[in-house]
Amino acid sequence: MKNLLVVILLSIYPIIAPLKQDSDQPEQLDWNIHFKGKPDNNSPFYALTAMTWKYSYASTVYRNRVEIKLQNEISIDKTRSWVKLDKVKTEESRQNLLHHEQGHVDIQYILYLEADRVLKNRTYSVKNYKAQISDLANQISAYFDTMQKNYDEETEHGSNHRMQERWDKIISDKMEESRAAGNSK
């Protein structure tokens, strides 16, 4: 069986705009809905899922304390996400590829949960809270960017089924942990 190769393109832009995530579950991928972009014929990969993370906040200072009201959103960029279904010959291979891509979306959802928890539950300095929030957001972004890259490398872009199963468990455990941590606050 040919090795299936996929890659994730992460676009993580902190943008100041009122945005929020409405779902308590990660969005479930569908080839016909989420992959509207033109495939890159020069790419060795069979699919690309483009996603964004955006956050904004309103701040108030009261009695020398900063409180923030965070708005946080993740989304799938359907016009930049693509798949080469003509290269994936069997239905089982298509499902395996979609499953791998779903792992990227699930990791992005964990980023959403963690960003929400971490950014909301900090004590910020009145003097430099904007820089502190920006630094934390950049750290969160870098952590999950590394996680996405490790996911692709270790699963060999979904073609190493043993490692894919291992990562499925890692992602599931991390999502459960993030939900529990968010609910305890």
* pTM of the model as a whole: 0.86
Helices (H), the chain: 31-34, 91-120, 129-155, 161-183
Q: Residue 2 corresponds to which tokens in the numbers above?
A: 């040919």
Instruction: Kindly state the helix (H) or strand (E) to which residue 153 belongs, with its residue range.
Output: helix 129-155
Residue 37 maps to a domain: yes
Domain count, the chain: 1
Residue 42 maps to a domain: yes
Q: Which domain holds residue 17?
A: 7-183
Residue 2 maps to a domain: no
Residue 1 maps to a domain: no
User: Each residue of 123-177: pLDDT tens digit?
Assistant: 999 999 999 999 999 999 999 999 999 999 999 999 999 999 999 999 999 999 9
Average pLDDT over every residue of 103-126: 96
Is the pLDDT at 9 greater than 50? The verdict is: no
Residue 65 maps to a domain: yes
